[in-house]
Amino acid sequence: MSDERDNSIYIGKKNTMNYVLACVTAVQSGSKDIIIKARGRAITKAVDVAEICRNRFLKDQVTLDKIEIGTQELQSRDRGTFSVSTIEITLKFK
């Protein structure tokens, strides 16, 4: 995946609208692009956040720049090594 930047929003267990609000706040603070990052089960929520931003809250202000997918190897004490899918969705603002 790409390098770590301040404009990344990491998707987790919070409500979807919390992440949408984080995107809107980033736009209002002057960010030109935002990277929405998620892995595992949170990938569907990341797609939802990107679509809500594009189609409702930031309509005509944002374009989908790129989508990167990948796999990370994680270590767990009880499960050993396992693979987790990852996604990065980059939204660019006009």
The series of mean pLDDT values per 10 residues for the chain, 94 residues long, is 67 96 89 93 96 89 93 90 95 88
Structural domain range at position 78: 8-93
Residues comprising the chain, all counted: 94
In the chain, the amino acid numbered 93 is F
Contacts of residue 21, Cβ cutoff 8 Å, sequence gap at least 6: none
Residue 3's pLDDT is: 44
In a domain, 44, yes or no: yes
Q: How many CB atoms lie within 10 A of CB 84?
A: 13
Residue 94's pLDDT is: 80
Residue 87's pLDDT is: 97
The CA distance from 5 to 46, in Å, is 17
Record the pTM: 0.85
Residue 68's pLDDT is: 97
In a domain, 18, yes or no: yes
Domains in the chain, number = 1
Half-sphere exposure of residue 53: CA atoms within 13 angstroms, side-chain side = 31
Q: Looking at residue 15, what DSSP letter applies?
A: -
